[in-house]
């Protein structure tokens, strides 16, 4: 069973920021928080990961709550190519289960 909860879908306008939430109240001390996204008929693409501190990379930012029970993926300026299903996953060495994910629609 997935250990994360995400909204089924979200919409954004092009060039606006998007905040994708994820709840993971049962996170353990050694779980990493990973985000992936998937386009139709493709394998998931790595977006970002973190453990305790907020993280930034060229694709996105990851804001992690102080108690680590939730996190938010931030796309600073959504583009049409960012339309995908976004998955938040709690990762441990032998466990990489996907939840239902959030389908992000970006409107021009």
* Binding residues vs another protein (CB under 8 A): 2, 32, 34, 36, 41-46, 49, 85, 87, 91-101
Closest contact distance (angstroms) between CB of 63 and another protein is 18
Closest contact distance (angstroms) between CB of 69 and another protein is 20
Tokens of 97: 């289960």
- Helix%, strand%, coil% for the chain, nearest 5: 5, 50, 50
Of 83, 99, 103, the residue nearest 13 (C-alpha):
83
Closest contact distance (angstroms) between CB of 103 and another protein is 9
C-beta closer to another protein: residue 65 or 100: 100
């Amino acid at each position: 069973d997935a250990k994360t909860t995400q909204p089924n879908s979200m919409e954004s306008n092009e060039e606006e920021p998007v905040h994708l939430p994820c709840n993971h109240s049962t996170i353990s001390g050694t779980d990493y928080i990973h985000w992936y996204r998937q386009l139709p008929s493709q394998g998931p693409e790595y977006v970002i990961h973190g453990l305790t501190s907020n993280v930034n990379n060229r694709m996105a930012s990851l804001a992690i709550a102080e108690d680590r029970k939730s996190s938010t993926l931030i796309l600073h300026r959504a583009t049409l190519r960012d339309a995908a299903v976004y998955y938040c996953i709690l990762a441990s060495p032998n466990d990489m289960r996907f939840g239902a994910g959030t389908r992000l629609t970006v409107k021009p």
